[in-house]
Amino acid sequence: MRKSILTKTFFSVLIGVILFRCFNPFAPKLEQSGNNSLIITEQKTPDEVLQNFQYAYVFQDSVLYSDLLDSSFVFIYFDPNLESGRFVSWGRDIDLKTTGRLFLNFDVIDLIWNSTIYSVDEDNRAEYSKSFNLSLIKNSETINITGNAIFVFKKCDYDNKWRIIQWKDESDL
Protein backbone atom coordinates (compact mmCIF):
# COMPACT_ATOMS: atom_id res chain seq x y z
CA MET A 1 0.00 0.00 0.00
CA ARG A 2 2.77 2.43 0.92
CA LYS A 3 4.60 1.63 -2.34
CA SER A 4 1.46 2.45 -4.31
CA ILE A 5 1.10 5.84 -2.62
CA LEU A 6 4.77 6.67 -3.27
CA THR A 7 4.42 5.65 -6.92
CA LYS A 8 1.30 7.78 -7.36
CA THR A 9 2.96 10.74 -5.65
CA PHE A 10 6.07 10.41 -7.80
CA PHE A 11 4.07 10.32 -11.03
CA SER A 12 1.86 13.21 -9.92
CA VAL A 13 4.90 15.36 -9.19
CA LEU A 14 6.53 14.32 -12.48
CA ILE A 15 3.40 15.18 -14.49
CA GLY A 16 3.10 18.49 -12.63
CA VAL A 17 6.69 19.42 -13.45
CA ILE A 18 6.20 18.53 -17.11
CA LEU A 19 2.93 20.44 -17.44
CA PHE A 20 4.00 23.56 -15.57
CA ARG A 21 7.47 23.90 -17.00
CA CYS A 22 6.10 24.83 -20.47
CA PHE A 23 9.38 24.19 -22.22
CA ASN A 24 9.35 25.11 -25.91
CA PRO A 25 12.41 23.64 -27.65
CA PHE A 26 11.84 25.91 -30.67
CA ALA A 27 11.80 29.20 -28.77
CA PRO A 28 15.01 31.25 -28.77
CA LYS A 29 16.81 31.52 -25.46
CA LEU A 30 16.19 34.86 -23.77
CA GLU A 31 19.61 34.93 -22.19
CA GLN A 32 21.33 35.01 -25.59
CA SER A 33 21.65 38.77 -25.69
CA GLY A 34 21.66 41.85 -23.54
CA ASN A 35 18.59 43.05 -25.47
CA ASN A 36 15.99 41.29 -23.33
CA SER A 37 14.02 44.55 -23.04
CA LEU A 38 13.08 44.50 -26.74
CA ILE A 39 9.37 44.36 -27.46
CA ILE A 40 7.45 43.80 -30.66
CA THR A 41 5.76 46.95 -31.92
CA GLU A 42 2.77 47.55 -34.19
CA GLN A 43 4.97 49.08 -36.94
CA LYS A 44 3.10 52.39 -36.87
CA THR A 45 6.31 54.31 -37.67
CA PRO A 46 9.58 53.53 -39.46
CA ASP A 47 11.32 53.60 -36.05
CA GLU A 48 8.98 50.84 -34.85
CA VAL A 49 9.83 48.81 -37.98
CA LEU A 50 13.52 49.10 -37.10
CA GLN A 51 12.78 48.04 -33.52
CA ASN A 52 10.99 44.94 -34.85
CA PHE A 53 13.91 44.38 -37.25
CA GLN A 54 16.29 44.36 -34.29
CA TYR A 55 13.99 42.03 -32.35
CA ALA A 56 13.72 39.65 -35.33
CA TYR A 57 17.51 39.44 -35.62
CA VAL A 58 18.26 39.13 -31.90
CA PHE A 59 15.58 36.46 -31.33
CA GLN A 60 16.03 34.93 -34.80
CA ASP A 61 12.32 35.32 -35.56
CA SER A 62 11.82 34.74 -39.28
CA VAL A 63 8.03 35.14 -39.06
CA LEU A 64 8.33 38.64 -37.62
CA TYR A 65 11.10 39.44 -40.10
CA SER A 66 8.89 38.49 -43.05
CA ASP A 67 6.23 40.97 -41.91
CA LEU A 68 8.79 43.79 -42.06
CA LEU A 69 9.29 43.47 -45.82
CA ASP A 70 6.86 44.78 -48.41
CA SER A 71 6.02 42.50 -51.34
CA SER A 72 8.06 44.84 -53.57
CA PHE A 73 11.12 44.67 -51.28
CA VAL A 74 14.63 44.87 -52.81
CA PHE A 75 17.94 44.25 -51.01
CA ILE A 76 21.03 45.95 -52.51
CA TYR A 77 24.67 45.35 -51.62
CA PHE A 78 28.11 45.94 -53.13
CA ASP A 79 29.97 42.80 -54.21
CA PRO A 80 33.70 43.55 -54.57
CA ASN A 81 34.33 40.00 -55.86
CA LEU A 82 32.46 40.58 -59.09
CA GLU A 83 34.32 41.84 -62.14
CA SER A 84 35.32 45.44 -61.31
CA GLY A 85 32.96 45.33 -58.30
CA ARG A 86 29.33 46.32 -58.58
CA PHE A 87 26.05 46.52 -56.76
CA VAL A 88 23.87 43.40 -56.73
CA SER A 89 20.23 43.13 -55.69
CA TRP A 90 17.61 40.54 -54.93
CA GLY A 91 13.94 40.49 -54.02
CA ARG A 92 11.87 39.52 -51.00
CA ASP A 93 11.81 35.74 -51.60
CA ILE A 94 15.58 35.39 -51.79
CA ASP A 95 16.05 37.74 -48.84
CA LEU A 96 13.70 35.65 -46.67
CA LYS A 97 15.61 32.46 -47.57
CA THR A 98 18.99 34.10 -46.96
CA THR A 99 17.93 35.60 -43.64
CA GLY A 100 16.36 32.29 -42.59
CA ARG A 101 19.69 30.55 -43.22
CA LEU A 102 21.49 33.28 -41.27
CA PHE A 103 19.15 32.71 -38.32
CA LEU A 104 19.68 28.93 -38.46
CA ASN A 105 23.46 29.04 -38.78
CA PHE A 106 24.34 31.21 -35.80
CA ASP A 107 23.83 30.54 -32.11
CA VAL A 108 23.62 34.20 -31.13
CA ILE A 109 22.90 37.25 -33.25
CA ASP A 110 23.14 40.71 -31.75
CA LEU A 111 22.17 43.81 -33.70
CA ILE A 112 22.70 47.28 -32.29
CA TRP A 113 21.39 50.34 -34.09
CA ASN A 114 23.66 53.30 -33.61
CA SER A 115 23.04 56.80 -34.85
CA THR A 116 20.62 57.86 -37.53
CA ILE A 117 22.73 59.58 -40.14
CA TYR A 118 19.72 61.06 -41.88
CA SER A 119 16.00 60.56 -42.25
CA VAL A 120 13.47 61.93 -44.68
CA ASP A 121 9.83 61.49 -43.76
CA GLU A 122 6.88 62.10 -46.06
CA ASP A 123 3.23 61.13 -45.62
CA ASN A 124 3.44 57.50 -46.72
CA ARG A 125 7.16 57.12 -47.44
CA ALA A 126 10.38 57.51 -45.44
CA GLU A 127 14.11 56.97 -45.88
CA TYR A 128 16.52 56.35 -43.01
CA SER A 129 20.26 55.86 -42.97
CA LYS A 130 21.35 53.99 -39.83
CA SER A 131 24.76 52.92 -38.62
CA PHE A 132 24.87 49.51 -36.96
CA ASN A 133 26.96 46.82 -35.25
CA LEU A 134 26.09 43.20 -35.99
CA SER A 135 27.67 40.32 -34.05
CA LEU A 136 27.25 36.77 -35.29
CA ILE A 137 28.35 34.02 -32.89
CA LYS A 138 28.70 30.33 -33.70
CA ASN A 139 30.27 28.10 -31.04
CA SER A 140 33.03 30.35 -29.70
CA GLU A 141 33.76 32.26 -32.91
CA THR A 142 32.43 35.79 -33.42
CA ILE A 143 32.02 37.74 -36.63
CA ASN A 144 31.59 41.49 -36.11
CA ILE A 145 30.15 43.59 -38.91
CA THR A 146 29.79 47.35 -38.77
CA GLY A 147 28.45 49.71 -41.33
CA ASN A 148 25.53 51.66 -42.56
CA ALA A 149 22.14 50.61 -43.86
CA ILE A 150 19.84 52.78 -45.93
CA PHE A 151 16.19 51.81 -45.59
CA VAL A 152 13.26 53.05 -47.63
CA PHE A 153 9.85 52.50 -45.99
CA LYS A 154 6.30 52.87 -47.12
CA LYS A 155 3.05 52.88 -45.21
CA CYS A 156 0.70 50.15 -46.44
CA ASP A 157 -2.89 51.22 -47.05
CA TYR A 158 -4.49 47.90 -46.15
CA ASP A 159 -3.23 47.65 -42.54
CA ASN A 160 -1.54 51.03 -41.85
CA LYS A 161 1.76 49.29 -41.04
CA TRP A 162 5.07 50.62 -42.28
CA ARG A 163 7.22 48.14 -44.20
CA ILE A 164 10.65 48.16 -45.82
CA ILE A 165 10.63 48.43 -49.61
CA GLN A 166 14.40 48.80 -50.03
CA TRP A 167 17.47 48.05 -47.96
CA LYS A 168 20.87 49.12 -49.23
CA ASP A 169 23.65 47.53 -47.21
CA GLU A 170 26.82 49.57 -46.82
CA SER A 171 28.52 47.36 -44.26
CA ASP A 172 32.27 47.03 -43.87
CA LEU A 173 32.70 43.52 -45.27
Report field, pTM of the whole predicted structure over 0.85: no
pLDDT tens figures, 97-136: 999 999 999 999 999 999 998 888 888 999 999 999 999 9
Tell me which architecture the domain covering 33-171 has in CATH: Roll (3.10)
Q: What is the DSSP string of 6-64?
A: HHHHHHHHHHHHHHHH---TTSPPGGGSS-TT-------SHHHHHHHHHHHHHTT-HHH
Which sequence spans correspond to the domains of the chain? 33-171
Share of the chain above pLDDT 70, in %: 77
